[in-house]
Amino acid sequence: MTLWWAIVATCAACYALKLAGLSAPRRILDHPGVQRFATLVPVALLAALIAVQTFGHGQALHLDWPRTAGMGAAVLALLLRAPFLVVLAVAAVVTAALRHLLS
Q: How many residues bind other proteins (CB under 8 A)?
A: 72
| Residue numbers 1-20 binding other proteins by CB under 8 A | 1-7, 9-11, 13-15, 17-20
Among 65, 76, 80, 88, binds other proteins (CB under 8 A): 88
Least separation, in Å, of the C-beta of 68 and other proteins? 9
Among 27, 39, 63, 102, binds other proteins (CB under 8 A): 39
Amino acid at 22: L
